[in-house]
Structure 1
């Protein structure tokens, strides 16, 4: 079982943030305690400069994109291709986050500093990767932060069609495996692509309620 870090000295209290404001703070650091506390409060980091460059911003979208357990839409065509992939958990975390941070990707925001911060978070037992493989080659995956019944998804990538979707299907099954319905998959913002997979939006106030319940639950079995 991973051990919670010491309390952070940074304040992530969202009570003073106006509704509809996504960017809730600028500054702080990417230390373990800071990241852990931020996710427990419903906040995550992303640089506000071009391609995620400094200054470091802290975000809590309103509304928030979430995937509730049971809402994942798996089309017939996707279900047919799932057996083509081998899915592994936490065997190539750095490879996954570096693939997500590929400077050739449009809309990139993951800087080298973010990569190293989340590798440290992974080594501490709080950040995880779901990986899809073909012929022993990493072809897709996602990574995020798991605390209690929360999985906060950060980014995904694919080098083969449907490879990232296969990772999401496996993540949903992993989080839902023990039947605890208050578990929560957070995807930050709902995009048209994520909406097609079953992601919905909730106001930040509702997200904080869902988060509070999720944090009281145990981690999914593979990460305890």
Structure 2
């Protein structure tokens, strides 16, 4: 990108406002002007999944969080953030997301019946959601509880994200090891499914952010 002296001076001034020799940084995100508008336009596209990549400490997460704050202001979106490590597996990922979304997870159990056959319990995510319509919230104050259950964690996760207008940030994808290959596959699948299924949730801006 060609250097623009005027914009360069503005950026330098902005940096000077946050970084000084005697004080710690109080804000690590500097508005990128036209580029920022383009980024937000992509963020606000329904059904558009986002992959953000760049070197470490380049400000990727700060940029994402800043634009998500704008998304929340305009479209009342929520977000949850999961950070990948070299020990992350599909199971630990689901457990982390379930915890942040207030999901209850039923683990499959096998118990012997009296006749010697096995009885299998339910496996998956079950969510007790407190969802109130605007009219209900202001007038009746009643709370509607919705249950999500099934045998596929990622299908249920997709439905919960859409229904709660929630963005899922998957941070530091580069830390995943070969042991997490199945998780990479499932993340690619849910990203594709959320792009395809967005038309079924007309008021939701839910999406998947993958940061590398």
Q: Which has the larger radius of gyration?
A: 2
Q: TM-score surpassing 0.5?
A: no
Bigger strand fraction: 1
TM-score with structure 1 length normalisation?
Answer: 0.31
